[in-house]
Chains A and B, each alone.
Chain A
Amino acid sequence: MTKSASDVSVSPPRRRSKYTVAPLVLIAGNVVLFALFFVWPAVIGLVYSFTNYTGIGAFQFVGLDNYSNLFGDSIFFDALTRTLLYTVLFVPLNFALSLLIANVLVSKHAKGVSVARVFFFIPWLLSPIVVGVLWRWLFGENFGLVNHVIEKLGGSAVPWQSNADLSLIVVVVAASWAWTGFSMLLFIAAIKNVPTSYYEAAALDGAGPWRQFVSITLPSIAPTSFIVILLNTIHGMKEYPLFASLNNGGPGTSNNLLVQYIYQTGFKSGQIGYASAASFVLMLILMVVAIIQMMVNRRVENR
């Protein structure tokens, strides 16, 4: 008797659950794709990370050797720290730029917003390869416009390409420039959702624009800020094509990031097993980042 009563109370899902064939037909395509190109690679990647597989022929299980070798591998360690440094520089710069631009774009005082928006958006359309080429053209050591101008003004040419740190900074600026359009869109949507009455009340109390921004806008868009930081962190950790075209991971190998390291050990040296182990370290880092973000986000939202 109680059973039928509970059935009545959950009647909408039960009514829907008559339809099992149709939804399964609808998701069939993506289920196959998911199994083939997500589950299968994830499983064999995990398995191969414990082997000495080279892509062809037989392989042996080597236990945790790949992982313990990784921790003694100074090239891997350099790539890892360089990737973290790149991400730590890229995420705040992009965050600040896109938040600033989003605020200017939603300001009711600025004129020509709909045209100006296109200027911020076009860099996002360009491929990372083209962005790299474009900034290489600006910051070329012997031929770039920037050094031309510096020399015209009486300075000496800055080694944008042969100094590893300057080279990294050029990539950070280029990436922040290119990725602004995306973060900006998320911020604009969030800022537009803040109730107007908050700003009116604050203005009545005499709060200036900066105070309104700090006390109203920033707390109101906190969930979006976390999403932007999370997405940009993941984006930064897996950057490769931008480096490939801007400085080819150079000078030398000083700006080789993790994905480039994985690509080179896996495909140039044929150490698929070892590269898979490096991939799983990258995956673990991304998962830790995501979990930390979610925990912080939940705490902020509950406050």
Chain B
Amino acid sequence: MTTTDTPRKVDADSVPAPSKRRYPSGRSGGLRRAVPATTLLWVLAAVYGFPVLWFVLSSFKPAGDLFSSLSLFPDDPTLSGYKAAWGSANFSQYFINTTIVCVIATILTVGVSCCTGYALAKYDNKWLKAFFLCILATTMLPGEVMLAPQFLVVRDLGLYNSLAGIIVPALLTATGCFMFRQFFLTVPDELIEAARIDGARELSIFLRIMVPISRPIMLTLAILSFQWRWNDYIFPLLMLNDPDKFTVQIGIQSLVGAQNINWSVVLGGSVITMVPLIVVFLVFQRYVMNADINAGLKD
């Protein structure tokens, strides 16, 4: 991804710049404008970054220093909070459970969304139109509104207290279907027509031509889905009963909801749960930043 100055850097009237990429900051006018804008940007960034920074740095302080030391950097950095969270508070088990849920749910979500999005974009019949409206309806009725009945359904399907009970109900997402639909609408129909003339069957056109070209959308949705499942709290809370099956979010909440909060463990555990998402995000940053997350919403 390039820097974000692309849309409005016309400025043709000001100076016939030799290189369009160079900022005109050498001139006094550019500098006069650059200073307040840059200052505002970085003040805001500092305000937004500070809570996370303070939290992460605190997690390296020894338990005894947590409440006494105001220094930003730990005088005596230690990993004891992390060790306590990973070992004693059963975070390793929660971490494994959450990873299983995220990976399976993400793969399946991308799969069903890709199929549905393609069908909605490239075929036309009244069943598909009706189903499109059905998916639209799910955006109006978030899962939180149907907590109790969803719990009963999962229980009656025999999925209560299993990881499948939090994976399967989460697979249908309107955002995912609309993202793929929006993408496949931009793929020219001639591609399909040509394949049909060559005698390809409908499903093999989908699998061998359409699936490979939709890889950027797949990655974007995969990141979103991973984040949704990793951060989900209320459905795991409802559907899981056995502490061996808890996810990391329930783990943290049970530590924070306790009478006497062991902050050293809470800080360590929370930072552990932040790491996978931040790594995934920094690696795949451009897929999220460029994403038309609102693709389906404006349709």
Contact = CB atoms under 8 A, between A and B. Distances in A.
Contacts of A248: 257
B146 A128 contact: no
Given A27-B131, A127-B230, A286 B256 contact: no
A31 B134 CA distance: 9
Interface of A is mostly: helix
A128 B231 contact: yes
Given A29-B115, A105-B4, A119 B45 contact: yes
B185 interface: no
B34 A177 contact: no
B37 A110 contact: yes
Contacts of B30: 109
Given A27-B128, A113-B3, A143-B66, A41 B153 contact: yes
Interface in B107-124: 111-113, 115-116, 118-120, 122-124
Interface string B62-88: 000011001000000000000000000
A42 B127 contact: no
Interface of B is mostly: helix
A13 B45 contact: no
B48 A224 contact: no
Contacts of A121: 281, 288-289
B148 interface: yes
A30 B141 contact: no
B140 A286 contact: yes
A33 B171 CA distance: 7
A105 B7 contact: no
B148 A127 contact: no
Contacts of B55: 134, 137-138
A224 B292 CA distance: 12
A116 B297 CA distance: 27
Contacts of A113: 3-5, 41
Given A29-B115, A48-B152, A272-B148, 4 more contacts: A27-B116, A48-B148, A101-B44, A186-B294
Given A106-B4, A110-B38, A196-B10, A34 B172 contact: yes
Contacts of B90: none
Contacts of B149: 40-42, 44-45, 48, 276, 279
Interface string B141-163: 11011111111110001000000
14 contacts: A29-B111, A30-B171, A37-B153, A37-B169, A38-B138, A113-B5, A125-B274, A127-B230, A136-B256, A231-B297, A244-B233, A259-B144, A272-B148, A286-B141
Contacts of A25: 203
Interface in A1-54: 13, 16-17, 19-27, 29-31, 33-34, 36-38, 40-42, 44-45, 48
**Residue among B5, B120, B137, B177 having the largest count of chain A Cβ atoms under 10 Å:** B5
Interface residues of A, number: 105
A275 B34 CA distance: 55
A113 B40 CA distance: 11
B153 to A, nearest CB: 5
**Residue among B146, B238, B249, B266 having the largest count of chain A Cβ atoms under 10 Å:** B146
Contacts of B115: 26-27, 29-30
Interface string B244-263: 00000100110011000001
Contacts of B141: 38, 42, 283, 286
Contact of B146 (A123, A180, A279): A279
Interface stretch (A63-71, A74-82, A233-241): A233-241
A117 B137 CA distance: 33
B203 A125 contact: no
Shortest beta-carbon contacts, A-B, top 3 = A127-B231, A22-B202, A45-B149
A223 interface: yes
A275 B289 contact: no
Interface in B201-225: 202-203, 206
A138 B1 CA distance: 34
B10 A37 contact: no
Contacts of B111: 29
B197 to A, nearest CB: 13
Nearest to B150: A41
